[in-house]
Structure 1
Amino acid sequence: MNNQRVAVVAGANGVAGNKLIEELVETGWQVIGLSRRGGKDRPGVRYLSVDLHDKAATLALLKPLDVTHLFYTAYQHADSWAGLVEPNLRMLDNVLTAAENASRLEHVSLMQGYKVYGAHLGPFKTPARESDEGHMPPEFNVAQQALIEDRQAGKSWHWTALRPSVVGGISTGNPMNLALSLAVYASLCKELHLPFRFPGKPGAWTSLIEMTDAGMLAKATVWAATGTAAKNQAFNVNNGDLFRWQEMWPKIAAWFDLAVAPPLPMSLKEVMSDKAALWQDIASKHSLQENRIGHLAGWEFVDFVLGWDYDMFADGSKLRRAGFHHYCETEQMFYRLFTQFRQLRLIP
């Protein structure tokens, strides 16, 4: 009898998916990573290139795989909140259908976020808790969970929904990597001999916010998928500390040896629109691995996060009461990630 756990990670090249694959391989799993871009195979992990919107292709690709666990971290961007629902629901439906065809399916893990609580719409109840009442749709995270709950009824497999805050990790070609985008912004400031200014809304400077370390999130995801305490439940996953940008921003500036100046609200998407050539020069001067600034920084996402002029945090105690006790200090997470970005030659 085959007792080997076989995981399919949809969204393998994202900030969360990339680190989750590392965690799974390190703990002895066989992993299949799904994404449009594919990836370079290595011991324990095989990457497959697929468009999850294509049901026939997804079913055909996963049919021969003896899947025991599906970890769903994929995401399709759209220009409106309503527009996010259909493509993201369709992708999940397709890969879930394919995974259910496997006779050994044990668990489905869904990566969500604080949009479940309406955090993207404006000031919301904080700390947000998993038991909070829902809000007016459309919201794709909620629709995805409803799909999974409906499909799981009467089945032998179970599910868990993980709800991280902004995830800090290592991933390129991803528009939702805040830490890497800030590192690129700081590097541009240094090249131009400019101070490191906070570009967000005035209220965001003083509001409370939290983050989620990708490594800790990966451990929580595997813990939830392999134990009994997390079956058919949702959990907030956060580092366990809160911060304000007015305190964190000077510390990030100091790490990059940059001066700080008073905040100046501006759209990074706009002011960075002409910086592609400058980054190419920086990459050439410092022998960096990536000279395409758009593959490193997601300015629209940074504008979004730094536009939260209200508190943005959730109660993570349910996860810890269930038995997961890992913690990460956010300030040290930033320093560790910046160091890794340099070691990987992503920034000077």
Structure 2
Amino acid sequence: MKKWAFFIFSLVQIVWLAGCSEKSFEPIERERNFIASLNIQEPSLDFIDEQGNVIATWLFEKAYSGALLLGDDHVLLYGHQLDKIDVYTLSTGKKLYSKKVKIGTTNVYYAKNVNQFFITNSKTNTVTSFDEEGNELASQQLGNYPMSMASYKDQLYVVNYKDTKLSVLAIQDLSVKQEWPIEKSSHGIAIVEETNELWIGGHGEGSKPNSSVKRYDLTTGAVQGVIEMPLMPVGLTKTEDNVLVVSHGHNELYVTDFDGNVKWQQEVGANPFVVNQFNDYIVVAGYDDHTLYFIKKGQIQKTVDVGKGAFQLLVREEKL
């Protein structure tokens, strides 16, 4: 009996110690603005302030291939070859929860207006919705290799990367409302509500790389125009005044107005996949040179070294 009691006590200790040994990271103060670079060659997350100082670096043991902010104080991390997503609280640096998912996650998107996130999967060719606590809400079968996502009002738009269609879904239950014809290997998406348009970039396929961004009517899916942006424009971000586009095959940044007119362009970075706005800067991440470029008024103002394979940019800043 004593041996059995000792065994149970030891087992409880092991479980307790395992729980206590869960890795935590340097906390990020709630009121602190940052742009964070997710680096995927040696998985890490670098947090950078308005002055270009690296305020914290989270080094990961898992092969995360993507991240996004859930609200203002949580970050969700995922990987294409991982069977779990992990959500951390920024202000404590501690894991909030993990959620088991099927291997094949290509992207995760957060819709602020409904406080839900959506996971696309290339193995099951599905999109699944969750609340912020990680509870599954709905799932829908899509085309081949769903990946890029955006939402507007009560609809979710999903690009099927290895297919020739875009799926328009009702956010509430993920029922399919429309399917638009698009080019295969489309990637990168932005909604320009000022002109009621959805813009899509892409890699192109085989010996025919894509060299343009297509503009679609947000209601009907009809093509409204084409913007020439060679080569492989895949990173699109809409700001208050512009649409920012990076072409990773040409190491080029394009800044356009909402009608698709290119205001200016600049060669920047080595193999950039992503662009965002932080404070008064346009920030481009160079995947191959592991550098963030802070650009203002068409000029590179400063550069910041980050981890290997800068692939995504997360921005948190107080809106005045």
Q: TM-score range, shorter-chain basis? A: under 0.3
TM-score norm. by structure 1 comes to 0.25
| Higher share of residues assigned helix | 1
TM-score of the two chains, using structure 2 as the length reference: 0.27
- Greater relative contact order structure (CA < 8 Å, 6+ sep): 1
- Between Structure 1 and Structure 2, which shows a larger proportion of strand residues? 2
